[in-house]
Amino acid sequence: MPDSCLFCRIARHELPAHIVHEDSRTLAFLDIHPVRPGHVLIIPKQHYPYFEDMPADLAGHIVNLGQRLARQMKRLYAVERVGLAFTGIHVAHAHAHIVPMQHPHDLTSTHYIAEQDLTFVMPPQADAEALAATAESLRAAVSGD
């Protein structure tokens, strides 16, 4: 794992994170700039710069964990759908965003194109205590499924 990669450092527990799930291959933790409460990032512990660089079985493992989280998020946050998106925009380490969607435009939408609003900004950083409470509820839900 590269020493300078933010997510590699989180995977090695060198930097703090509000961990929701951990196994031998992946780490799931709360995004500190959540689109919505409960916004989780799932990363492979091994460094892969982008989604397409990962072995297919690892990508499948991440999607499976995303499905498990989504089922619990629907119940915990009373949402109809949960979005999953693989990105590599801000950190060049493959990662999936799992977002309980309270609004159809929470992840992406043609609405932005129609409105000609293509300016994407980072959501504000969440409060540490709120993140800790959210992580605990998701961790308990996923460990019990």
Query: Which residue segments constitute the domains of the chain, with CATH numbers given?
Result: 6-114 (3.30.428.10)
Question: What is the tens place of the pLDDT at every residue in 83-136?
Answer: 999 987 789 999 999 999 988 777 765 544 555 555 556 677 888 898 898 888
Catalytic residue numbers, as ranges: 95
CA angle 136, 19, 2 (to 5 degrees): 175
Residues 66 and 43: their CA atoms lie apart, in Å, by 11
Residues 77 and 57: their CA atoms lie apart, in Å, by 29
Residues 58 and 47: their CA atoms lie apart, in Å, by 12
Question: What is the tens place of the pLDDT at every residue in 27-58?
Answer: 999 999 898 999 999 999 999 999 999 999 99
Overall pTM surpassing 0.85 (yes/no): no
